[in-house]
Amino acid sequence: MPKRTDIKKILIIGAGPIVIGQACEFDYSGTQACKVLKAEGFHVILLNSNPATIMTDPIMADKTYIEPITPEIVQRIIEKERPDAILPTLGGQTALNVTVQVAEMGIFDKYNVEVIGANIQAIKKSENRELFKKAMHKIGLDLPRSDKAHNLKEALEVAEKIGFPVIIRPSFTLGGTGGAVAYNIEEFKRLAKTGLESSMISQILIEESVIGWKEFELEVMRDVKDNVVIICSIENFDPMGVHTGDSITVAPIQTLTDKEYQKMRDASIACIREIGVETGGSNIQFAVNPDNGRMVVIEMNPRVSRSSALASKATGFPIAKIAAKLAVGYTLDEIPNDITKETPACFEPTIDYCVVKIPRFTFEKFPDADSTLTVSMKSVGEAMAIGRTFKEALQKGLRSLEIGVDGLTDLKSEVSESKLAEKLRTPNAERIFYIKYAIKNGMDINDIYKHTQIDRWFLHNIQEIVELEKQITDFSQQMSDNRCQKTENKRQKNLPSDVCPLSSELLLKAKQFGFSDKQLARILKTEEEVIRKLRNKLNIKAVYKLVDTCGAEFEAYTPYYYSTYEKENESCN
Amino acid sequence: MAIKSKKAIIALEDGKVWEGLHFGAKGESYGEIVFNTSMAGYQEILTDPSYKGQIVAMTYPLIGNYGINSEDVESRKPFLAGFIVKECSQISSNWRSQKSLDEYLKENNIIGIEGIDTRALTKHIRLQGAMKAVISTKDLDNNSLIKKVKASEGLIGKDLVKEVTCKKLQTWNNQGKYKVVVLDCGVKFNILRELANNNCKVIFVPAKTDAKTILGLKPDGLLLSNGPGDPEGVPYVVETVKELLDKLPIFGICFGQQMLGLALGGKTYKLKFGHHGANHPVKDLKTGKIYITAQNHGFCVDINSLNKEDIEITHVNLNDNTLEGIKHKKLPVFSVQFHPEAGPGPNDAKYLFGKFVKMMKNS
């Protein structure tokens, strides 16, 4: 189906000011949309209250309104500009919210404006818990179990049915009391009682807790012909209970079999269809019980999200750009894959590397803020790294955070056993370093798992980093013992002393595990320059590999690169 | 050093050599080298009989993460000639995992090699084509290996089906409305599972079973399974299919499509490096709908060799426009080159089993 010709003028809503949880990723998606739609010959009107964005640069849209993103302003712009359509799915939650409000005022009907991308019904279905639950049950998907109770007796029955731990949420409270977790019957009785008292209608919602379950996300795209593809799968390092924006996340999924992944893929496709996102991208989150594999849907974002910006960079598939094209009627098979040119965008990227995203916090600037990580996002940025192994990507990502670490470094001081347990149990910005500390101090992976519920596969990979570091230290210790001996011998024979602090095998392995020269120099108590020279001498050099969407199956014309330590360098030949 | 004793080598017939560390079994093994781009599903890949005679390199670098379980097998054992990865996980982390990939390959005498720049290897295969290769842990002399691999038998014209087909008739499922005979050229269990899910009694028979014996079983339909190697290596299967063309509803999958194509007078040819992955877009030419499909084939039916008076092209691959599906214009006979049964890969095309059932119902 070619581009629509019945619409000429499109209003795009931006994301407004940069706040935690809604940052430059929406400038990126909005800018992409402006560029694409303009290039397709549409007249683009843009509303964004934030002038410090790329998308508000004069060349981006045909007309830009820097005004507050409120229903009244949208109404006035519509009155003045008379657009044929409004595209709300590229400006984060702000754009979706205002669009729903404007729809409820009847403005779109009055001025005959079509909402493209996700329609109002789809937005509502994904946002309203009750509607969402109903929709998911309709397509046979599981959600965390929950039920209402009006007194303690009912509450106890519900809790028994669901099993501990449970989350208790009072309905209709003054000032909005949040949920509380009960791990046992005593706690539950107490919390249910307070909950019932604080509810104006004496009602609580008791919900199965999925805290500690494995968390996954799928980035899905759909076109007007109902073709659906998965762009990227993401596994969260931190289990449920930490906001995705605050979690270390990894692409693709690492610890699901294909059967389990396909179940999730089928569920995502069913979800985007049932919610009714007609065109564009959606992000669907799942939790999986690590003990028996039970999968529940957590939520769905019917729009381009922070994760889709990440997924685009991780796979080479430009989600926002394609979403804008799909919104104006193109189908996935009509759009070429930008990187391979000869194959269409209607496929699922396959990657031959591992991507790790690590959140960046600035708790030092807010000394009074609680640095515990919870379901509300607290990070202010993130670093994404690509490597051929998880270990490499993790260490590259950590040193990209600009928090003064050059990889997975040691804590600055010793910690007590009780503090360590606490720091492992309660999610926090430095947890990854406490995990390293725990491993280094001999804590078993199973014990760390008990505290953190971080999948053993991730913990084992960290353990491999720690073990290699130990091998390096041991090797260097041995060499230095030998050196004293040798130097003594050489001095006697008048020979120059020339000692290698690392074997070629160990050094290569260290680089493949993501150790930086600086980090190795620190471990070996020498200078970065020494390691660099040694590497050059041993011909252990970074090579550059392509991000090409297809795992090298097709030729790439406009790829980008990441560095790693492998045999073949693709950046020059 | 300990590292040295784990050394293993892959040598290609064009003289290219890669060095890595072995896991799984030790020894020396020959086969055609191919790459697979699925990010998950190594267990299904290992147990897919279509890989008989092939050494498989995974493009996704981290393999073995979720171990091996007893449920996700696609046949009675792995048949492939070797398994190449960047990093084989030392830990198996999944609630269904029963053993590690390393243990599994040891048990089944399959040589694995890790530490390979699998991207460089993939690019080499993409540019030079699938070719003969050897993987060895005992002969570590490059020149000797290259010499041996050059002299080794390739898979062109060879009958690999006889090595993987069942020895005698077997019943997979004896409940169901329609009786389907599966001509087992190396059938994946998921095909049998899907037929059973679609209310079919399922019997699978050795590939050499003749038409008369098949008809004697009084089936409602015939399924031509996937299988390894060169379709021209099994003229006896083509003969059987020819005889059954106007007698039974027929559904061919992968190698089954090639059997059908040959029986209908078409020709097959070898693709440069084949299709091995879980992300291939296939277009249904009638509806315009696109399905993301699982694929695993090195040969293909030549789209131009088919008699268009009798045969309709139903599906094409959007990546390279190769033939993905055909149907007979007068007979209840159809086939696809991809794997509607998934395992590993998407379930998008599973509806085709329903289509086959409908065909049996109407004839």
Question: What's the pLDDT at A201?
Answer: 87
What is the distance between the alpha carbons of residues A174 and A443, in angstroms, rounded to a whole number? 46
DSSP bridge partners of B171:
B203
CB contact under 8 A, A258 and B72: yes
- What is each CA distance from A226 to A272, A326, A346, B68, B316, in whole angstroms? 10, 11, 12, 35, 18
| B172 near A CB under 8 A | no
Q: Please, what are the domains in chain B? A: 7-151 (3.50.30.20), 161-362 (3.40.50.880)
CB contact under 8 A, A262 and B60: no
Question: What's the pLDDT at A379?
Answer: 93
> SS3 of B15, please?
coil
Burial of A321 (0-12, 13-18, 19+ CB in 10 A): buried
B1 has pLDDT over 50: no
The alpha-carbon gap from A226 to the nearest alpha carbon of chain B, in Å, equals 8
B3 has pLDDT over 50: no
Compare CB distances from B289 to A225, A344, A349 and report the shortest one's residue.
Answer: A225
Residue A331 tokens, joined = 């189908």
Q: Give contacts of A353 with chain B, Cβ < 8 Å.
A: 61
pLDDT of A535-546, one tens digit each? 999 999 999 999
Window B:107-146, CB contacts with A under 8 Å: 117-120, 122-123, 126
8 A C-beta contact, residue B162 and residue B207:
yes
CB contact under 8 A, A227 and B290: yes
8 A C-beta contact, residue A80 and residue A48:
no
pLDDT of B104-140, one tens digit each? 999 999 999 999 999 999 999 999 999 999 999 999 9
Q: How confident is the model at residue A491 (pLDDT cuts 50, 70, 90)?
A: low
**What's the rounded mean pLDDT across residues B42-69?**
98
The alpha-carbon gap from A395 to the nearest alpha carbon of chain B, in Å, equals 16
**What's the rounded mean pLDDT across residues A289-294?**
97
Question: What's the pLDDT at A375?
Answer: 83
Q: How confident is the model at residue A181 (pLDDT cuts 50, 70, 90)?
A: confident
Burial of A288 (0-12, 13-18, 19+ CB in 10 A): buried
Phi, psi (5° rounding) for residue A193?
-65, -50
Give the rounded percent of residues in chain B with a pLDDT score beyond 90: 98
**What's the rounded mean pLDDT across residues A513-540?**
94
The identity of residue B75, as a single letter, is: S
Q: How confident is the model at residue A175 (pLDDT cuts 50, 70, 90)?
A: low
pLDDT of A59-105, one tens digit each? 999 999 999 999 999 999 999 999 999 999 999 999 999 999 999 99
Name residues whose C-beta falls within 8 Å of residue A385's C-beta, 6 or more positions apart in sequence.
A355, A356, A358, A393, A394, A396, A397, A400, A562
**What's the rounded mean pLDDT across residues A118-125?**
94
CB contact under 8 A, A456 and B120: no
Q: Please provide the size of chain A in residues.
A: 573
What is the distance between the alpha carbons of residues A521 and A93, in angstroms, rounded to a whole number? 46
8 A C-beta contact, residue A320 and residue A90:
yes
Other beta carbons less than 10 A from residue B220's beta carbon: 20
The alpha-carbon gap from A546 to the nearest alpha carbon of chain B, in Å, equals 9
Give the rounded percent of residues in chain B with a pLDDT score beyond 70: 99
pLDDT mean across residues, chain A: 93
| Nearest to A267, CA basis, from A312, A237, A299 | A299
Across A556-567, b (16+ Cβ under 10 Å) vs e yields beebeebbbbbe
DSSP bridge partners of A64:
A46
pLDDT of A261-284, one tens digit each? 999 999 999 999 999 999 999 999
A482 has pLDDT over 80: no
A29 has pLDDT over 60: yes
What is the distance between the alpha carbons of residues A407 and A387, in angstroms, rounded to a whole number? 13
The identity of residue A9, as a single letter, is: K
Burial of A381 (0-12, 13-18, 19+ CB in 10 A): middle
pLDDT of A428-461, one tens digit each? 999 999 999 999 999 999 999 999 999 999 999 9
CB contact under 8 A, B126 and A348: no
Q: How confident is the model at residue A186 (pLDDT cuts 50, 70, 90)?
A: very high
A499 has pLDDT over 60: no
Cis peptide leading into residue B344 (ω within 30°): yes
Compare CB distances from A352 to B59, B126, B345 and report the shortest one's residue.
Answer: B59
**What's the rounded mean pLDDT across residues A503-531?**
94
Q: Which of B7, B16, B74, B94 to mutate to test the interface with A (most CBs of A within 10 A)?
A: B94
Q: Which of A228, A259, A568 to mutate to test the interface with B (most CBs of B within 10 A)?
A: A259
Question: What's the pLDDT at A483?
Answer: 65
Based on its alpha-carbon atoms, the radius of gyration of chain A, rounded to whole angstroms, reads 27
What is the distance between the alpha carbons of residues A478 and B54, in angstroms, rounded to a whole number? 45
Torsion angle of C-alpha atoms A271, A273, A277, A283, degrees rounded to 10: 30
Compare CB distances from B93 to A332, A456, A545 and report the shortest one's residue.
Answer: A456
A467 has pLDDT over 50: yes
The alpha-carbon gap from B120 to the nearest alpha carbon of chain A, in Å, equals 6
Question: What's the pLDDT at A2?
Answer: 82
CB contact under 8 A, A352 and B279: no
**Is B312 annotated as catalytic?**
no
CB contact under 8 A, B18 and A229: no
Question: What's the pLDDT at A497?
Answer: 42
Q: Give contacts of B278 with chain A, Cβ < 8 Å.
A: 258, 348, 350
Secondary structure of A109-134 as H, E, C letters: HHHCCEECCECHHHHHHHHCHHHHHH
ipTM higher than threshold 0.95: yes
**What's the rounded mean pLDDT across residues B220-236?**
97
Across A400-428, b (16+ Cβ under 10 Å) vs e yields ebebebbbbbeeeeebeeeebbebbeebb
Compare CB distances from B89 to A261, A457, A554 and report the shortest one's residue.
Answer: A457
Positive or negative torsion for Cα B285, B290, B294, B295: positive
Torsion angle of C-alpha atoms A296, A299, A304, A309, degrees rounded to 10: -60
| Nearest to B290, CA basis, from A1, A323, A327, A329 | A1
A464 has pLDDT over 50: yes
Mean pLDDT is lowest, of A121-135, B17-31, B101-115, B177-191, for A121-135
Based on its alpha-carbon atoms, the radius of gyration of chain B, rounded to whole angstroms, reads 20
* Kind of pairing between the strands at A295-301 and A543-547: unpaired
The alpha-carbon gap from B60 to the nearest alpha carbon of chain A, in Å, equals 4
pLDDT of B158-209, one tens digit each? 999 999 999 999 999 999 999 999 999 999 999 999 999 999 999 999 999 9
**What's the rounded mean pLDDT across residues B198-222?**
98
8 A C-beta contact, residue B56 and residue B45:
yes
**Is B254 annotated as catalytic?**
yes
| Nearest to A189, CA basis, from A172, A171, A174, A204 | A204
Window B:310-339, CB contacts with A under 8 Å: 318-319
Q: How confident is the model at residue A496 (pLDDT cuts 50, 70, 90)?
A: very low
| B10 near A CB under 8 A | no
Q: How confident is the model at residue A484 (pLDDT cuts 50, 70, 90)?
A: low
| B3 near A CB under 8 A | yes
Dmax of chain A from CA atoms?
98
**What's the rounded mean pLDDT across residues A120-145?**
93
A12 has pLDDT over 80: yes
